[in-house]
Amino acid sequence: MADGQDLMERIGRLRPAVRAAGQPLHRPLLLLWAIAQAVHGRPRQQPWSVVKHELAPLLTQFDGAQRGERDVVYPFWALQRDGLWEVADSAELPLTSGGRRPTFAILEQVNPLAGLPEADYNRLIDDSTVAADALSTLLVRFFGANSGSVVEALRLREFVRGPIGASLLPLVGEQYADRKKIAEAYGGNGVMGITPLADGILAVYSDDKGPYPDHHIPETGWIAYTGDGLSGDQTLTVGNKSMQEYQKQEKALRYWHKPYNGSWTFETWAVVIQCRRRWGRGEDKKQRREYVWVLAPVPSPLRETWPSDVVEALAQDDKSVHDDSVDVIPAEVVAGQESRKLSAQERYQQLSDAARRTDGNRTNRSKPTLVERYMRSAAAREAVIIRSEGRCENPACGGHPLERTDSGQPLLEVDHVNGLARTGQDTPEFMIALCPNCHALKTRGAGRGELQKSLVPVARKLHRAMQRGERRKARPDGT
């Protein structure tokens, strides 16, 4: 007898092609219908005449099929390839359509029996947990907002444990020491950062010690999740392609997180509400364009449980890539692209203008707008780094104003001189570059109030000087 894990793995491998018009649901619908036969105690195998009569209206209602009973031919034959369906004496049926399947007329004439493999049918009858998991997985993966209607149409409510998807394993909050343990428990790839578990539902993994700068976006509670690809410009392939499909279909995925020195935790279900492109550094320390998938945590994979601000954000999302890498091009990249190298003043003005365009919408406090402002504030941060000439901008700096990272970049932190929450402005004249020591003093030091107050005129003076093309004077110590 087939075990439950083997059945779930085959269901997880059921992946209808994604087309411009959407994802065809004929095979998932036939499989749900077949599982319904098992849990309702109906015979495992049913004649073609019964299958076409019962499946055709489901295909019309939930898959937009338009040819009535003739639309049943494809799933009736094709689901065999997934190892989830059997057509009796299929080898004896004459095939047409290039040898791919029998015609409607042949099926009408022969009226073959078909149904689930016997081992799967018996497992579903014997184990209600396996049946509930199989049903929930198919409903969550393929039917989303229509899950409840499908359940009612197939009279499956009593066989789905609690709210649809609530009993799916793993449960939110489950923890594992490493990725290998997750794969042992639930299948899937134990290495890739964007990959489905055995049930076919996409999962993403974020490690605080990993090479990607994933983080929570301030004031929103949403997550900026860096796309797939360690070095070089990222492309919409492999994991990023899967994320794009989930964004277009507005489906929930599993978000796993591993804090410093912590365990992997299935932290939350999440949906993609934006895709953005920005500049970042790859594992090779070189600048590259990378995708950022903005994830909004949701209570469950069912849309009816999602907060209103998430539903509104999904409605606003045009499913395109918002390219923040156009205005904000790092200086080292510009140097390699431009036939005429821009002066520091020109680059500063270009980035300041980009920051000001983004900041012009600062009165809008919707979460999508806050995300856009945060992601595009890279223009202001880059401008301030250029203005600083790699030195801490605190005139009284007593730390290490010229310190560099391993990649040779200035060890500086760009901050708002008086706090973004107070000024509400994300432009260079309200920001300053500080070494880690001065930044700590400004944010946590006992005299932070006085320091913040003193830095306000400094930032404005440096901004005006940069616009006039005036170079910063060196301090007596040479810095």
Spell out the SS3 assignment of the chain: CCCHHHHHHHHHCCCCCCECCECCCHHHHHHHHHHHHHHCCCCCEEEHHHHHHHHHHHHHHHHCCCCHHHHHHHHHHHHHHHCCCEECCHHHCCCECCCCECCHHHHHHHCCEEECCHHHHHHHHHCHHHHHHHHHHHHHHHCHHHHHHHHHHCCCHHHCCCCCCCCCCCCCCCEECCHHHHHHHHCCCCCCCEEECCCCCEEEEEECCCCCCCEECCCCCCEEEECCCCCCCCCCCHHHHHHHHHHHHCCCEEEEEECCCCCEEEEEEEEEEEEEEEEEECCCCCEEEEEEEEEEEECCCCHHHCCHHHHHHHHHCCCCEEECCCCCCCHHHHHHHCCCCCCHHHHHHHHHHHHHHHHCCCCCCCHHHHHHHHHHCHHHHHHHHHHHCCCCCCCCCCCCCCCECCCCCECCEEEECCCHHHHCCCCHHHEEEECHHHHHHHHHCCCHHHHHHHHHHHHHHHHHHHHHCCCCCCCCCCC
- Domain positions in the chain are 4-159, 175-323, 344-468
CATH no. of 175-323: 2.30.280.10
Query: What are the distances in angstroms from CA 167 to CA 136, 162, 196, 275, 297?
Result: 8, 7, 18, 30, 18
- For 429, the token pair is 């004249």
pLDDT (tens digit, 0 to 9) for every residue of the chain, 479 residues total? Answer: 457 789 999 999 999 887 766 789 999 999 999 999 999 999 999 999 999 999 999 999 999 988 889 999 999 999 999 999 999 999 999 998 678 899 999 999 999 999 999 999 999 999 998 999 999 999 999 998 889 899 999 999 988 877 787 778 999 999 999 999 999 999 999 999 999 999 999 999 999 998 898 989 888 999 999 999 999 999 999 999 999 999 999 999 999 999 999 999 999 999 999 999 998 889 998 889 999 999 999 999 999 899 999 999 999 999 999 998 876 666 556 655 554 567 888 888 888 887 777 665 555 668 888 887 777 777 788 889 889 988 899 999 877 667 776 666 777 888 888 764 444 567 899 999 998 889 889 988 999 999 999 999 999 999 999 998 876 654 444 44
Query: What are the distances in angstroms from CA 387 to CA 147, 436, 463?
Result: 55, 18, 8
**Predicted local distance difference test score (pLDDT) of residue 287:** 86
Q: How far apart are the first and last CA of the chain?
A: 76
Q: How far is CA 441 from the centre of its chain?
A: 36
- For 399, the token pair is 């730390």
Query: Please, what's the largest Cα pairwise distance for the chain?
Result: 98
If we measure between CA atoms, which residue out of 346, 414, 403 comes closest to residue 380?
414
Q: Please confirm whether the linkage preceding 436 is cis (ω < 30° from 0).
A: no
- For 263, the token pair is 């365990």
The half-sphere exposure of 96 on its side-chain side, counting CA atoms within 13 A, is 7
CB 51 within 8 A of CB 34: no
In DSSP terms, 294 is beta-bridged to 224, 274
- For 251, the token pair is 């489906």
**Predicted local distance difference test score (pLDDT) of residue 422:** 45
**Predicted local distance difference test score (pLDDT) of residue 360:** 57
Q: What's the CA gap between 435 and 419, in Å, rounded?
A: 17
If we measure between CA atoms, which residue out of 353, 433, 422 comes closest to residue 391?
433
- For 33, the token pair is 């219908």
Q: How far is CA 172 from the centre of its chain?
A: 17
**Predicted local distance difference test score (pLDDT) of residue 352:** 85
Match 């907060």 to its residue by tokens.
Answer: 307
CB 355 within 8 A of CB 380: yes
**Predicted local distance difference test score (pLDDT) of residue 308:** 96
pTM, 2 dp:
0.79
